[in-house]
Amino acid sequence: MAEPTPVTRRDFIADGMRGACLLGLGGLAAMVTGRLQAETTVWQLDPSKCIHCGNCATFCVLKESAVKCVHEHAACGYCKICTGFLEPKPIAIDAAAENQVCPTGAIRRKFIEDPYYEYTIIESKCIGCAKCVKGCKCFGNGSLMLQIRHDRCLNCNECSIAAACPSMAFQRVPTSKPYLFHGKAHSA
């Protein structure tokens, strides 16, 4: 058996420098791969997995959350008693603030003809709390849902809302089909 050669200080430092360079190259490759993925995909919320926990309103890194309620008009029943707009047991069936589910008044109700009403989301007032979505899903047809608005979203490498989401409803989707509506992808 051959005697092991002693490691000199010079060899030890040279090996350490080679290792550090390889580690740096690996980190650089990971960073470039992450940026390439971020450029071809965006974060989105899958409405079929959302449990309406309210985290979207509080965990976004932006002062005002990039998650907003959207209304899929084709699925809406235009009901007089919309549980996404009114509390389940409203004092009166009208647009008074004490009867509304939304804490910021972000849903506008417009009379069409008896018994139909049209509901519109005012995105500038929406905080992404999901109270209207929860009401619509529990007692209605689920035409109200949360979506990430890409004109606001920073597309962070690790979305803080996605990390806090208990149902893991956030996922990366291709930029060509950035919106998900009840399991289907749609372009903007």
The CA distance from 99 to 43, in Å, is 34
Selection from 49, 42, 43, 44 nearest residue 142 by Cα = 49
The stretch 17-33 carries a mean pLDDT of 75
Residue 37 structure tokens: 């993925």
* Residue 105 DSSP symbol: -
Residue 111 pairs with which residues in a beta bridge?
117
Instruction: State residue 183's pLDDT score.
Output: 54
The CA distance from 83 to 101, in Å, is 8
- Cα 103 off chain centre by: 20
Q: Look over the chain and give the mean of its residue pLDDT values, rounded to a whole number.
A: 86
Query: Domains of the chain: which residue ranges?
Result: 40-186
The CA distance from 179 to 69, in Å, is 12
Please check the confidence at residue 18 and state whether its pLDDT lies above 90. no
Q: What is the pLDDT of residues 63-104, one digit of tens each?
A: 999 999 999 988 888 988 898 999 888 888 888 888 899 999
Please check the confidence at residue 39 and state whether its pLDDT lies above 70. no
Please check the confidence at residue 34 and state whether its pLDDT lies above 70. no
The stretch 29-36 carries a mean pLDDT of 62
User: What is the pTM assigned to this prediction?
Assistant: 0.72
User: Which backbone phi and psi does 166 adopt, to 5 degrees?
Assistant: -70, -20
Q: What is the pLDDT of residues 107-116, one digit of tens each?
A: 999 999 988 9
| Beta-strand runs (E) in 1-122 | 41-45, 67-71, 107-113, 116-121
The stretch 12-21 carries a mean pLDDT of 81
